[in-house]
Amino acid sequence: MAALTAPDDEIDGSSSRGQSGPPRYSRRLSDKILLAFHHACDQGYYEIAEQLLRILESMLTRRTVPPDTNRRKSIESLVAAHERLWYLRHPEGSLG
């Protein structure tokens, strides 16, 4: 009987059939950390969210060769994430 689900390496589009080299991933690690940050915020884990932001910030501030073409967008996302965490921790300071 054939399996009804795809192997894990096919789920992210990196089927090992016909390929050599490391697996390919559909999202950058920084994107996954940002998603984890938002998930932590949604669950109310603000200390974890802050730690994830520190990790993300250290990733974005390191020098890369070649330069990251999405750096500006990544920095804007980091700033927005810091703002979200601040407003979650200081609901009395938010407008609305």
The mean pLDDT value of the chain amounts to 80
In terms of pLDDT, which residue wins out, 13 or 25?
25
User: Which residue bears the tokens 């920095």?
Assistant: 75
Indicate the domain borders of the chain: 25-93
- Helix, strand, or coil here: 65? coil
Query: Using the 8-state DSSP alphabet, how is residue 13 labeled?
Result: T
pTM (whole model) above 0.75: no
Instruction: Over range 79-92, report the average pLDDT.
Output: 95
How far is Cα 80 from Cα 65, in angstroms, rounded to an integer? 26
Residue 5 has pLDDT above 60, yes or no: no
How far is Cα 74 from Cα 70, in angstroms, rounded to an integer? 6
How far is Cα 74 from Cα 37, in angstroms, rounded to an integer? 14
